[in-house]
A and B are shown apart, each in its own frame.
Chain A
């Protein structure tokens, strides 16, 4: 019997805010992060910012990944950041993926989204960024 594991796997929440119809991309990312040894809490489609923040706090994640295709990112992402702050989770890094125009991406980065991946991003790149972001934050 192996001795009790002392290393703490990275815990990451993957969620889709808003009204997107499918979550293929988010699932592929969840799977890649799993294969990189992370514990991925998959919250699924059509989450409100409140639900996402609640899950992030209860699950005590090291990292939050948001995926969005609908175009509502400028409304929903800042709200997630604001609520995280309010719930004392402001230090949890948030990254995002989806269809996000460059101009919006720049503004979101200024607001505190740590990394943003477009449709062409490689899984290896996403995994590497997630690992870097998940280093101790609290």
Chain B
């Protein structure tokens, strides 16, 4: 299937064609041969709007917060593109993507686009192509992009390299304050959102987090904000958006931000080069009998894996 031809398909996306956008996302997600051209056409139009990542443990209410955040943004006249990631089964590869269930009825609102994605084997709470999909949404003209990660564990911090503002969603009673000292998720939050704050314990959670936020090194000068929300009452959503906007405004004037942004793009380039290289090497290993022998020798303990890797790389240079 080679549907996503550039520039016509890219132009359709820029022109607001939702079907074209949906198909382009599929092309990018499945790495079809047209996706490189598409992303090339899209890239110059990206990097301007807030890309807000929402992450946090399973069941804290990320989807419900997003639902209310969409409504709030619409009331401010902002258009919103959303990509929500759920896990793929490591066994069947299949997946049930249920983030849409929380989405309120707005069937005729063309200024919201919601797309579910499966993680397809990637670790870190996103899929390998989530960043590219966020770019497609921006290029399609949405003025805010929201990215919801897989309900994450402590170290799923892939969102760090995709979002401009990272919101870590938590609930009261996730543990004592020692939890807030641990490495991982807590370190990447630009904004903490204590959801379900209609439940008891929200104040203690806020106090513990406030302590954490005031202690830490703030190398870039930003101190994490803490916002209490409830999707039942509902409350705190305008405050959540204000905290996100404050961080975006901070980025715009922060001298360290340009360097950080450059560093992240460098990381992305290396990551993409690494992926290509790995694919190429895997393909060679599969077809070249001489290289397959290397594996046999490693299995037989005649050769160590490191030396075999050197020889595999050397074969590529020949």
Contact = CB atoms under 8 A, between A and B. Distances in A.
Interface of A: 1-9, 11, 30-31, 33-44, 48, 50-51, 54-55, 57-60, 87-89, 136, 138
Given A34-B89, A87-B19, A138-B3, A3 B279 contact: yes
B interface residue count range (under 10 / 10 to 19 / 20 to 34 / 35 or more):
35 or more
Contacts, number: 100
B100 A55 contact: yes
A129 B162 CA distance: 38
Contacts of B115: 58-59
A42 B96 contact: yes
Given A4-B128, A58-B18, A33 B94 contact: yes
B113 A5 contact: no
B95 A8 contact: no
A4 B100 contact: no
A9 B25 CA distance: 14
Given A8-B26, A58-B113, A3 B98 contact: no
Contact of A42 (B19, B92, B98): B98
A18 B22 CA distance: 26
26 contacts: A2-B121, A3-B278, A3-B279, A3-B282, A4-B128, A4-B275, A8-B30, A9-B94, A31-B96, A33-B94, A34-B92, A39-B97, A39-B118, A40-B95, A41-B100, A42-B96, A44-B98, A44-B100, A48-B105, A48-B107, A57-B22, A58-B22, A59-B116, A60-B22, A60-B23, A60-B25
Contacts of A88: 19
Contact of A36 (B30, B92, B283): B92
A58 B114 contact: yes
Given A44-B101, A136-B1, A57 B18 contact: yes
Nearest to A55: B100
Contacts of B166: none
Interface string B254-298: 000000000000000000000100110011000000000000000
Contacts of A42: 96-98, 100-101
B12 to A, nearest CB: 12
Given A34-B92, A58-B18, A58-B114, A40 B108 contact: no
B93 interface: yes
Contacts of B116: 41, 59
A137 to B, nearest CB: 11
A1 B278 contact: yes
